[in-house]
Homo-oligomer: A and B are copies of this chain.
Amino acid sequence: MSAVDPRLSINQATIKYADLATALRVTADAGIQAIGLWREPVNEVGLDIAARMLSDSGLRFTTHCRGGFFTLPAGAERDAALDDNRRAIEETATLAAAGAEGSTAVLVLVAGGLPEGSRDLIGARERVRDAIGVLAPEAKAAGVTLAIEPLHPMFASDRAVVSTLGQALDIAADFEPEVVGAAVDTFHIWWDPQVLEQIARAGREGRIATYQVCDWKTPLPSDVLLSRHYTGDGVIDFGSLTRAVIATGYDRDIEVEIFNADIWADAPSNVVRRTADTFAAAVSPHLG
């Protein structure tokens, strides 16, 4: 067992079936200093109680997952999605204030896929930009950074019409960097021929709101959403990507976010320990 990297943050999705109390406990017990939370387990206990629990844990809060789903045309469903994002902004601000010193108020946004029956990818992308335009002033007022997360292109139709870091930065460019940034997640962007130059650009433009790591391996499982692995178990070169992020001056925590049925079936305490060990081996050496 290696020393735990002080910059490691456990994204709660990595231990999906742990409730909030368990997630906080096993993370702190493993000597990990930070956590990224998901809305559902927070809302299961209620925001105020969740904030108190987080505060009691002594952990830093790194991101809130997740808002977004912005691709619907005007109407009641879109309005409801925007309202839900307003609640997510409030949750993010509250949790960041409750976390230990060094917490960051970052709300991760997943763009959403093509609306049912639509083939208008360009229109869907415009609606993402429009929704961020609506929410940006509210995020700014709350001191929250919206982090547009490009998702791997295999999710372009059903989950996120934002597929590359360059595209996320093009959308973010309309807004202040403290208000709209990007989530840099190795799983989603490792394949991109432009990845290193776009990471450098994201840094120059002050847009790296969060750096998240996990690995890619084939064959993909039948549900490709669950094809994320411990760092080092797949083919991603964490050296070049991590050095590129660090070279921009990124000094925040680094989340490990894994969706994987086998890992979810393991005991949360095992998972966080193995996450810390694999992070120490695959990522820490590149943190300079």
Q: How far is the CB of A119 from chain B (nearest CB, A)?
A: 4
- How many identical chains are in the complex? 2
Using an 8 Å CB-CB cutoff, how does the interface string of A185-222 with B read, 1 for contact, 0 for none?
00000111100000000000000000000001111101
Grouping DSSP codes into helix (H, G, I), strand (E, B) and loop, the A interface class, with mixed when no group exceeds half, is: loop
Which residue in B119, B192, B218 is a CB contact (below 8 Å) of A163? B192
Q: Are A154 and B152 in contact (CB under 8 A)?
A: yes
Tally chain A residues at the interface, Cβ within 8 Å: 35
A56 within 8 A of B: no
Q: Are A166 and B153 in contact (CB under 8 A)?
A: no
Which residue in B122, B193, B222, B236 is a CB contact (below 8 Å) of A167? B193
Q: Please report the C-alpha to C-alpha distance between residue A121 and residue B119 in the assembled complex, in whole angstroms.
A: 32
Q: Are A154 and B193 in contact (CB under 8 A)?
A: no
- CB contacts (< 8 Å) of A163 on chain B: these are 191-193
Q: Are B120 and A157 in contact (CB under 8 A)?
A: no
- CB contacts (< 8 Å) of A216 on chain B: these are 157
- CB contacts (< 8 Å) of A119 on chain B: these are 235-237
Binding site for B on A (CB under 8 A): 114, 118-122, 125, 152-154, 156-158, 163-164, 166-167, 170, 190-193, 216-220, 222-224, 234-237, 240
